[in-house]
Amino acid sequence: MKMMPLERRGLSSSRLALGCMGFGGSWNAEEAYTSEHVLQAERAIDAALSVGITFFDHADIYTRGKAESVFGRVLKQRPGLREQIVLQSKAGIQLAEDDLPGRYNFSKEHILPAVDGILERLGTEYIDILLLHRPDPLMEPDEIAEAFTRLKLSGKVLNFGVSNMSPGQIRFLQRALPDPIVVNQIEMSLLRHDWIDHGMHVNQKAGLNDSFPEGLMEFMQMENIQIQAWGPLAQGRFSGRVSENASEAELKTAELVQELAKRNETTPESIVLAWLMKHPALVQPVIGTVNPERIVACKDAVRQAELMTRDEWYTLLHNARPANKPK
């Protein structure tokens, strides 16, 4: 069996990750998290661990820091848990405040205190991976390298990655960094399948509207960078939560997902994730839910990815975008 890039680097063998954006309650800065939110996080963490998920994904802005604080409360209650899991968080987004709009900030003056805040909220001395949260047009690789070096030497961050970046942006950044970029987290799902379309539409008119970065999938595989997929369950559109504005393609795909789940005696969630994980890039889906039942429903995804045939994979893709048949 092929090993994920993170596994080849000795960082993690967890094929799925749990995204913690929903931890901590609302995004209202005036509303504090409660003991019920801590219990909710604890149940989600236990559900993840029960199906072999040991990788947890955060960001300093999630519920305005409350997601990390709630997770930190759980870690404090279970002293031995920290060393059994991989913690990843992100920094670089500044939310709108007063007269200032939402913006990005990869300056050393922002990154260093942001990481201190992450560590304080999580109640840990280090995080395994820090991601730069979306591209900052004003980023200066040498300054970022200085910040990363200080974080690495202090033991606060062990590895570094990015999110939503193109090959050119990663190369631009990597040229100044002493350590390799180990992760790029991007939106990928059976609903958001432009990462597949881009490669299939080479030399076709259909490719004129593709916006996915040129060569990104191939670049990350060549550079041994872990591809993480955010939004991999597509908000449940194919596994039970039908949108009011669902297209014919979505309804048709959801029907096929249900059919495959029934035939293979598994869950729709596992089929949806298996479609992503079937790709040879060994995508690591980051499932974003606090619902223990939905987390457990993903447990069969790895096996289903191994069992899924080419015909099933292409039929799912065809149903998701029936207007764009392979030629």
Give residues with Cβ within 8 angstroms of 45, minimum separation 6: 18, 56, 71, 74
Instruction: Kindly compute the dihedral angle of the four CA atoms of residues 200, 201, 203, 208, in this order, to the nearest 10 degrees.
Output: -160
> What is the reported pTM?
0.95
90: part of which helix (H) or strand (E)? strand 86-91
Q: Which pLDDT score, from 0 to 100, does residue 11 have?
A: 96
Locate all alpha helices (DSSP H) within 231-327, ordered by sequence. 248-263, 268-277, 292-296, 301-307, 310-320
Q: Which pLDDT score, from 0 to 100, does residue 207 have?
A: 61
Q: Is 104 an active-site residue?
A: no
pLDDT, tens digit, 9 for 90 and up, residues 32-56: 999 999 999 999 999 999 999 999 9
Q: What domains are there in the chain, each with its CATH number?
A: 5-245+280-290 (3.20.20.100)
Does residue 244 register a pLDDT over 80?
no
CB atoms within 10 A of CB 22: 17
Mean pLDDT of 170-194: 96
pLDDT, tens digit, 9 for 90 and up, residues 251-265: 999 999 999 999 999
Mean pLDDT of 141-164: 98
Nearest to 229 by CA among 247, 216, 239: 216
Q: Which pLDDT score, from 0 to 100, does residue 148 have?
A: 98
CA 70-73-78 angle, 5° bins: 135
Give residues with Cβ within 8 angstroms of 11, minimum separation 6: 86, 128, 129, 159, 182
The pLDDT > 70 percentage for the chain reads 95
Tokens of 67: 């997601």
**Are the C-beta atoms of residues 285 and 17 closer than 8 Å to each other?**
yes
CA–CA gap between residue 98 and residue 171 (Å, rounded): 35
- Note the maximum CA span of the chain: 57
pLDDT, tens digit, 9 for 90 and up, residues 283-315: 999 999 999 999 999 999 999 999 999 999 999
Q: Which pLDDT score, from 0 to 100, does residue 206 have?
A: 64
Identify the band that residue 213 occupies on the pLDDT scale cut at 50, 70 and 90: confident
Catalytically annotated residue among 33, 62, 104, 126? 62
Q: What is the overall mean pLDDT for the chain?
A: 94
